Amino acid sequence: MADSANPFLAPSTLPYQLPPFGEIRNEHYRPAFDAGMAEQLAEITAITADPAEPTVENTLIALERSGQVLQRVATVFFSLSSSDATEFGTALEEELAPLLAAHADAIRLDPALYARIASLQERCDSLDLDPETAYLLERYHTEYTLAGAALSDADKVSLRDLNMRLSTLTTRFEKNLLADTNDLAVVIDDVAELDGLGDGEISAAAGAAAERGLTGKYVITLVLPTSHPYLASLTNRAVRERLLTASRSRGIRGGEHDNRELVLEITRLRARRARLLGFASHAAYVTADETAKSPEAVAGMLDRLAPAAARNARDEQQALQAAVRDSGGDFELAAWDWAFYTEKVRQARYDVDTSAMRPYFELERVLHDGVFYAATRLYGITFTARPDLTAWNPEARVFEVANEDGSPVGLYIADFYTRDSKRGGAWMNALVSQSTLLGTPTIVTNNLNVPKPAAGSPTLLSFDEVTTLFHEFGHALHGLFAQVTYPRFAGTNVYRDFVEFPSQVNEMWMLWPEVLANYARHYRTGESMPQELVDRIRESATFNEGFATSEYLAAALLDQAWHRITADDTVADVAAFEAAALAAVGLDNPVVPTRYASTYFAHTFSGGYDAGYYSYIWSEVLDADTVAWFTENGGLTRANGDRFRDRLLGVGGSGDPLAAYRSFRGRDAHIQPLLDRRGLD
């Protein structure tokens, strides 16, 4: 195959440099990875071999320009490994993981390169740098130092070995999880056992069964979190138990997809690496370069919230047990009963039936008249479908985004339906990241896992799925709006414990009166969601927050517990460690399981949130305080949107995020709005 036939070796000529998915073949990936790594190493050698004194141009900017072929192929390959995995891709990912880890280390641990960066850092005050370039230098010096660039040669050898091994293990964890999630999907023989589900949900279950060759049966595919949205509706208690048991069984059944040994080895190696780098634990290593700065600061917040959350959950549990008795049940409330009886109590107290909301949440209307509409009102941007542009899967749709004056913003790709080739959960990726230095535009993607109904049937979303769509679109806006010089700062390349802030802010528009009235219409009649239902939703805002906060905090604290172990600690039993960690913070209620148990905790064992899952609630402090600002300042206005865009979203990672927040808000964030939102004190 000639080099010219490989679409990764040159920038795409499609609009916005959209990767030419129709031309990409399996045989293109490995040669492009090899060429990309070789090219970047040659570029780094040219930097370090330059006899001239280190300058911003010959060192930092040269670094920023390096590795463009590798960036193109890696972005596409890893986006597809999450969205549309294949056996070929999975095998290649395992093959590439140690090679890419070694490649990254070859750059970050290069002593000559580090010496040039350190020289610039020492002379920083005399270089007359603009703020973004000064911050770029600071970030490179900090990140390379934390990566181990100042270690001895012997320690660097050990570090490289640890990084390669960890890259292999985390890749294997994700592969095992996808396989076990698919294998544990619940097969139902009789449609009567699906009583409580809507027509669309039953249609989706039938479609999932047909795709697996199980004609006449029904398949409920699992979602990433422990709890499944169908648990709130299924009237058959045995089916609910089967569904939750399947969810909690992932990675602990023995055999080739068991993740327990991987959890133990990953945490053990991370602890060893942290000590090598001069930190007491992996949590200390990670938080040192986040806004939190230390595990103790994280614990200070989580430990403050956990007792109130656990107390509220116990109060909720008593109310649910009473509901079981009132409905004639003669059993102790179990974890698989919580969501079902929560809906009964919610309906009794507030006359809110969340399942009755689905007809008002038709996917296309939510997307166009809700998500896009709010963005247009706030930021003046518009969305135009581009059916002439194709993505990686026919279900992934491309939209062109433009400013109010018609100037281009970028492309937005929406891939909303679940399939066996897609990992669980929901996320945003950047396919092309904006940079004025490189002249690159912006392409962002959103992935959800909504069950797909049969052809001709509407896709009716749950309340939580609507929330998720608004959330992920907040990440998309962060990626679309950032206007930076250097690719290092593009889009969502910010501190991990800040990245969730813009996405959580965007959730507020879901129930904002003008937005809700525009999209929440019955898919058959077109009638608006009744105002009294909207009012009752708001009245019940803190209902079940004890459960919601507890199951999240349990996962965040479990993540911290795994990553606060030291290199001298010995952990041999995943279940025992998990139980002890949750008991230590009072979140060991068996009726309120953790959002993710260790063996399917993708965020922390394969997804880049290791020792950082706390970031959702850490960011929520900023989010709740920002919602208060919008409420106080007129809400959905262009002036407010422009301020948020210019001072926060548009900054990307090009400056201190907390300084950007102070510029927007006029002060540091207050925690009280978060406590009020979650019903905590």
Cα–Cα distance between 415 and 493 in angstroms, integer? Answer: 22
DSSP-assigned states of every residue in 42-73: HHHHHHHH--SPP-IIIIIIHHHHS-HHHHHH
Count how many residues are written for the chain. Answer: 681
Place of tokens 């979602």: 223
The per-residue b/e assignment along 135-144, b for 16 or more CB within 10 angstroms, e otherwise, is bbbebbbeeb
- 100: CB partners within 8 A, 6+ apart: 33, 37, 74, 167
Cα–Cα distance between 564 and 611 in angstroms, integer? Answer: 8
DSSP state at residue 461 = P
Cα–Cα distance between 618 and 559 in angstroms, integer? Answer: 14
Instruction: Exactly one of 362, 472, 578, 620 is catalytic; name it.
Output: 472
Residue 508 contacts residue 543 (beta carbons within 8 Å): no
Cα–Cα distance between 95 and 168 in angstroms, integer? Answer: 8
131-147 and 87-108 helices, crossing angle to 10°: 100
Residue 344 contacts residue 327 (beta carbons within 8 Å): yes
For residue 43, CA distances in Å to 68, 138, 435 come to: 11, 22, 19
The half-sphere exposure of 368 on its side-chain side, counting CA atoms within 13 A, is 9
**Sheet containing 427-432: which strands, arranged edge to edge?**
382-385, 397-402, 408-417, 443-450, 427-432
DSSP state at residue 524 = T
Cα–Cα distance between 443 and 314 in angstroms, integer? Answer: 45
CA nearest to 149, candidates 200, 107, 203, 103: 107
260-276 and 153-183 helices, crossing angle to 10°: 160
Q: What is the largest CA-CA distance in the chain?
A: 84
> Any catalytic annotation for residue 472?
yes
Catalytic sites, residue numbers: 472
